[in-house]
Homo-oligomer: A and B are copies of this chain.
Amino acid sequence: MTFNGRDLISIRDFSKEEIYHILDIAQGMVPIAKGEKRSDILKDHILATFFFEPSTRTRLSFESAMHRLCGNVINISGVEGTSLVKGESLADTIRMADAYSDVIVLRHPHEGAGRLAALHADKPVINGGDGAGQHPTQTLLDLFTIREAFGKVEGMNVALVGDLKFGRTVHSLSYALALLGANIHLVAPPILQMPKESMDHLAGLGHKPMASERLEDVIPKVDVVYMTRIQKERFDDPTMYARIAKLFTMNNEMLKNAKDDMIILHPLPRVDEIHPEVDQTPHAWYFKQAFYGVPVRMAILALLLGVVK
């Protein structure tokens, strides 16, 4: 098992053992991510964050991760990124990142961009989200958070809630949860069910998720509720949208029958799908989850750069 020089494009590129190893390394990074301990293991290194669409949390948590380990960052984002997408080929742009840095995080609107970039770079490429494709570091921080809460992922009951059709996050996460032996509950309205491709990946791992259309029925049974946003644009009929969005909104009323130690996760940013009143309950783990993006990305950077084994 070696990570030195590898790319991180899809969570499916990694074995169960490799995933656990990343989580273990991330565990050790937590005090450094909090600024309680100091490390300069990446002081000789430059991270290129090339963001061709906005993703503030992903970008800033990678940059924070790099700085916590005394590394440096060069960045393209915003308008500059957008105009690059229109101009030269992605291959040439990535060769530039390759020449000026030691490791590259790419966020791109087109599915498959991560894999393409990895082909043209000698340095490790980390997929920071490519359109409807993959976002593996999000999945790793989701798994890390579940393990922090319960000490394990295996055997945990995890509800994936909301838009399971278009929500990239849940496609990668469901695969990883199945690989690590969690039990998956799919909770979505009929028109936003998990697509066949993702269901096939689960079947390939011998996993058959439970399914429900009512969040209230599922909450009492599970350890983790993973919320995602249902976007208005998916519906032709705005009253239909309003009715359904309400059913998939988390609030304190919904939580009445939850287990005491049940945790709510969300990739953030949220809009209306979790009421702010929930933030005050012990179930609200989504801000902790956002923080865990830092130690998990520290672990990934250190492993791919070969400074940690």
Interface residues, chain A, CB within 8 Å of chain B? Answer: 35, 38, 43-46, 48, 54, 56-57, 60-61, 63-64, 67-68, 70, 72, 74, 76-80, 83-84, 87-89, 91-93, 95-96, 99-102, 268-271, 276, 287, 290-291, 293-294
B291 and A88: CB pair below 8 A? no
B56 touches A99 (CB 8 A): no
Given contacts A35-B45, A64-B74, A79-B78, contact A287 B57 (CB under 8 A): no
- A48-B60, A100-B291 given; 11 more Cβ-contact pairs under 8 Å: A35-B46, A38-B44, A54-B80, A56-B84, A61-B99, A79-B79, A88-B270, A91-B276, A92-B270, A96-B268, A99-B291
Please determine whether B64 and A100 come into contact, CB atoms closer than 8 angstroms: yes
Q: B92 touching A64 by the CB < 8 A rule?
A: no
A46-B67, A64-B74, A68-B46 known; A287-B95 Cβ under 8 A: yes
A sample of 5 inter-chain contacts (CB < 8 A) reads A56-B76, A67-B72, A87-B271, A92-B268, A92-B269
Q: Do A294 and B100 touch (CB < 8 A)?
A: yes
The minimal Cβ–Cβ distance linking A93 to chain B, given in whole angstroms, is 8
Number of copies: 3
Q: How far is it, in angstroms, between the C-alpha of A266 and the C-alpha of B83 when the chains are bound?
A: 20
Given contacts A54-B80, A99-B290, contact A60 B74 (CB under 8 A): yes
Q: List chain B residues, Cβ under 8 A from A291.
A: 99-100
For A289, the closest partner residue in chain B by CB is B99
A43 to B35, CA, bound (A): 11
- Give chain B nearest CB distance to A243 CB in angstroms: 24
Write out the residue numbers on chain B whose beta carbons fall within 8 Å of the beta carbon of A54: 80, 83
A277 vs chain B, min Cβ distance (A):
13
Tell me the smallest distance from the CB of A90 to a CB of chain B, in Å: 12
Residue among A61, A92, A99, A291 having the largest count of chain B Cβ atoms under 10 Å: A99
A77 neighbours in B (Cβ, 8 Å): 80
Contact between B102 and A60, CB atoms less than 8 A apart: no
CA distance A46 to B34 in the complex (A): 11
